[in-house]
Structure 1
Amino acid sequence: MTFRKFPIAILLFVFIFSACTPTTTDSNTQTPRPSATPNAEDAKTPTPEASQLGVEKDALRGKQVNVWHPWFGAQASLFESQVAQFNTENEWGIVVVAESKNNYNEIFSQTSAALENSSAPQIVIALPEHALAWGDDVTDLNPYVHDPEFGMSALEMSDFANVIWRQDEVDGKRFGAPAQRTTRFILYNSTWARQLGFDSPPQNSSEFEAQACAAHDVLTKDSDSNNDSLGGWLIDSDAHTALSWMLAFDGGAQEENGYRFLAPGNIAAFKYLKTLQQKSCAWVASPDLSIYDRFAARQALFATASLEEFPDQARAFSAASNSDEWVAIPFPGAERDALVVYGSSFIVFNSDAETQLASWLFIRWMLSSETQADWVRTTGLFPLRSSTFDLLADYSADHPQWADAVTYLSEGDVTPQLSSWRLVRVMLEDGFRDMFDTIRHPDLTEGQVPLILKQMDDTAEELSK
């Protein structure tokens, strides 16, 4: 089924209608005069349920929470300023200390080593598959999320898109809480497409092929022979791109507690894409020019980019003095579209009850709508909560491609919820790239595609041991 987009304004209306609609009162009905002696039962204020975590608030005062994060530059600066704000404002006297490890590889390797010698921080910001690898050392956040005093209400939890909220929960254990989420999109030059005779983005894989081939054909007929191999889709071999195409053809990577690449949907996806390349309607770019510059120069009707790359793409159009309109769309399959939502999470390690609660309270504060709005303005990533949209009207107006792309969030799929995904993801990317290597596979036949996927199955099984 093809995903449908809805304008941001409509989404906002749905999100806030129930909260903003006043109670209707009949103007002819008089308000009863309060009794001089109110009923004692009516005057009672419901007593909030007590926390089930067994920690007194006073025990939190002065608790230090060490946080390792992967960020550098603007993201690190923002995070550290938010840590300082929390330390100043939080009512419990909790002190958070942040330390950058610069990237996810360092986060994983240093945290794994620290867990071995009992020197791990209380929180790390890492990928969900990392948390699964750390297993029993990771604190289940469900008791904290659902605590009547310190947790989140059902309404607050429903404020998170389902694809964002469920990524960290496996077999009833919540291994983390979302920190950042993004996805890869197909970028589509709608101005050029209209000149080619197409009034709207492709709704399925057949229409994608027709438009890609039309873009290639028009370049072969112009006076510049150097662009005869261009046009169509500029091939991207990122693992999340590969997984998105697989899902679009009703395939995927995970099956129960393992992997299955040799599946009908994956065979169909790989055959479709390789055939697209063999028709010269998809092509691999050399590294001498960026993807952003190539897309802005009309070397491709379709390119691929992550949400956070949209500002770079917009700058490339500006630098090229190109006023073409472009939009982001999901990956089109035969009967449905697909995209894969992924990103980092807050992960808490087992310590004492007071420190674990202090860690959760910092995470809960970081997930507030106001804090999330600051993250979107800095990173260009997905807002984790629906209510954050209320705070991003100006950002949406200044970043129309981002605003349009966010409407697809609720339709996203999660990455495989397996610890080995951190390794299998690299294998998938290598195998997908290899399929498009015209030197190694100049005449790849349809019959060879299942062999590639079978090899992926065998490799994934080895990596999962």
Structure 2
Amino acid sequence: MKKISKIFAMALIALTVFCLASCGGTGGGKTDGDVIEINYWHGNGATLETALEKIKANFEAKYEGKYKVNLVKYGGYDNLRDTLAAAISSGDTPTAAQTYPDHVALYLYGEALQSLDKYINNPEYGMSKEEQAQFIEGFWNEGTIYDAAGTRYALPFNKSTEVMFYNKTIFDKYGWSVPQTWDEVLVICEKYKQTEEYKTAEEKNKGVAYVLGYDSRPNLFITLTQQWGAEYTSFNEKGEGQFNAFGAVEKDTKLSQEALGWFAKQNKAKNFATPIDFGAGQDGYCSTAFLNGQCIMTIGSSAGASHNNGENATIDKFVTGVASIPQHDLNNKQVIQQGTNISLFKCEDEEEELGGWLWLKYMVSYESALLWATETDYFAIRKDVMESQEYQDILNGIKRDQNGNEIARLEPTVGAKAKSVGAQQSDAYYTNVAFPGSSKARDKAETIVERILYASPAVSVEVAYKEAYDSILNN
């Protein structure tokens, strides 16, 4: 099986020469004053970069000027991935970087990443077992999904999940319970279509009204595949990555096809939609349609909670509720775990590499994780942060004076509600194995959904899957 796309194979071919990358691209290593520079590449936006700057300042102060961290932004995660791939091929990698699991698999193909086990287990500057136990288990375990041995190549950083936002004002008006299963969602669909609100939504939007929207087409494919009892991807008995749901494993493929066929039926019945159904101006999300009243439930990232705040609706404002996503089987709950990790690159300069490890370790420390969780829309990655008064105050809408006394208890923000739901459904989190080329699966998952729902002339579910799998194998 071909494990990596041609474009990345070309980008990484020079790795036979640069197995040990120079590390610290654009200035890493020691300066003339013996200050050790650490280059950290990331893809965060301006708001997140502000929080990152604070963590950097605290780290540099802790080590009293021994280390200088250069934060290098590469405008988005795909651009970061491509830039790192090119840097690996030239042997000029950063000290450390923000990574997605699929990206880690790519960098491992180029033999550019350093295992973190050698540092974690070091008695002088490692992490104790007690410290490791503070991390949310699912987030922590994601750093070891790259081989059968469970080698660690990443630490958790900014984490989110999918949640369901719903129009609580309408639900309360009609006394509807929040659905826990897809069957219960369909009951709500039938009830809502009998209301004046639905008729008004259809009239105002020229018939473009549904009941539930789903932001991410790749996530839709993967989550329904998992919920129907199939494996999306896996390692085979030889330790090679395989694309189960696309055609590699017949049982998984059939279950996945059943799930997507079911969703297509609901889309045709105008129960479920993706952003494509709502037309231009959606920016790839259902948030605008949700605020416009074109759907009363939408599934999206917890980190995008503020975009689904009904108080920001331009016409009929409403209260937004947040709940776990619906399940196919409550005995097999599956909710996607999202967000990036952080990884260390191999360096010729041992002091720079050690500094890179200490930087990563500080980024996930209690102090840094607390700052990140309270100043951004991302989850607490640690149990002690989750249990802290500062974090619990955010979840519960509590305001305190400078002496720590409670002075007000407000309705929690939509973002706070999303964080609470994320914690409640953490036992259902799944993550998929990553291997060179596995990022292609996500791209093809999106293609399958679009072909099934929107192809003209129409194609069958089976044909859409076969097209995607053939493309994976031949590129």
Cα drift, residue 363 of structure 1: 0.8
1:330 corresponding residue in structure 2:
325
Q: Secondary structure at the match of 1:342?
A: strand
The structure whose Rg is larger is 1
- Given residue 421 of structure 2, which amino acid in structure 1 is its aligned partner? A
User: How many Å separate the matches in 2 of 1:221 and 1:299?
Assistant: 8
Aligned to 1:404: 420
Structure 1: stretches of 5+ with no match in the other structure:
1-60
- Paired residue type of 2:344: V
Q: 2:9 matched to which residue of 1?
A: none
Per-residue deviation, 1:380: 0.3
Whether the 8 Å contact between 1:132 and 1:419 is mirrored in structure 2 is: yes
**1:260–1:457 CA contact under 8 A, matched in 2:** no
**Alignment partners' CA distance in 2, 1:260 and 1:126:** 24
Identity %: 17
CA distance in 1, matches of 2:451, 2:361: 43
Q: What is the CA-CA distance between 1:413 and the residue it aligns to?
A: 0.6
Please give the alpha-carbon distance, in whole angstroms, between the structure 2 residues aligned to 1:316 and 1:423: 38
> What pairs with 1:182-261 in structure 2 (closer than 5 Å)?
182-198=160-176, 200-218=177-195, 222=199, 225-226=203-204, 228-256=207-235, 257-261=241-245
Amino acid at match of 2:465: L
Shift of 1:319: 4.8
Please tell me whether residue 282 in structure 1 is matched to residue 263 in structure 2.
Answer: no
The separation in 1 between residues aligned to 2:196 and 2:333, in whole angstroms, is: 28
How far, CA to CA, are the matches of 2:293 and 2:425 in structure 1? 25
Does the CA contact (< 8 Å) of 1:124 and 1:347 recur in 2? yes
- Provide closer, same or farther for how the CA distance between residues 158 and 330 of structure 1 changes in structure 2, counting only shifts above 3 A: farther
Structure 1 residues 20-419: aligned runs within 5 Å: 62-90=35-63, 93-135=66-108, 136-169=111-144, 170-171=146-147, 172-198=150-176, 200-218=177-195, 222=199, 225-226=203-204, 228-256=207-235, 257-261=241-245, 262=247, 263-283=253-273, 284-288=277-281, 291-314=286-309, 317=312, 319-320=314-315, 322-335=317-330, 336-351=332-347, 352-389=349-386, 390=388, 391-396=390-395, 397=397, 398-399=412-413, 400-406=416-422, 407-419=424-436
Cα distance change, pair 220–388 in 1 and its aligned pair in 2 (3 A): closer
Moved more, 292-301 or 266-275: 292-301
Deviation at 1:367, TM superposition (A): 0.5
Provide the secondary structure at the position in 2 that maps to 1:137.
coil
> CA offsets, 1:32-81, max 9 Å, x none?
xxxxxxxxxxxxxxxxxxxxxxxxxxxxx732211111123121222123
Does the 8 Å contact 2:167/2:319 carry over to 1? yes
Find the counterpart in structure 1 of residue 474 from structure 2.
Answer: 462
Answer yes or no: is the 8 Å Cα contact 1:330–1:337 preserved in 2.
Answer: no
Q: Distance in 1 between matches of 2:58 and 2:130?
A: 26
Match of 1:332, SS state, is coil
- Write the distance in 2 (CA, Å) between the matches of 1:191 and 1:315: 9
Tell me if the contact between 2:59 and 2:359 (Cα under 8 Å) persists in the aligned partners: yes
Query: In the alignment, is the contact (CA less than 8 A) between 2:44 and 2:76 conserved in 1?
Result: yes
Q: Note the residue ranges of structure 2 that are not aligned, 5 or more in a row.
A: 1-33, 236-240, 248-252, 398-411
TM-score normalised per structure 2 = 0.77
Contact 2:291 2:310 in 1 (8 A): no
| Deviations 1:291-323, CA, capped at 9 Å, x for gaps | 323213432122122111101212654654523
Over 3 Å counting, the alpha-carbon distance change for 1:114 and 1:231 in structure 2 is: closer
TM-score for both structures, normalised by structure 1: 0.78
Q: CA deviation at 1:197?
A: 4.8
For residues 412-431 of structure 1, the aligned pairs below 5 Å read 412-431=429-448
Q: Deviations over 1:417-443 (max 9, x none)?
A: 2232323212211221232217443xx
Q: 1 CA distance for matches of 2:257 and 2:46?
A: 41
Q: Helix, strand or coil for the counterpart of 2:52? A: helix
Q: Is the 8 A contact 2:38 2:352 kept in 1?
A: yes
Q: Which residue of 2 aligns with 1:30?
A: none
Q: 1:254: how far off? A: 0.4
Alignment length, in residue pairs?
398
Distance, in Å, in 2 between the alignment partners of 1:305 and 1:233 is 11
Corresponding position of 1:10: none
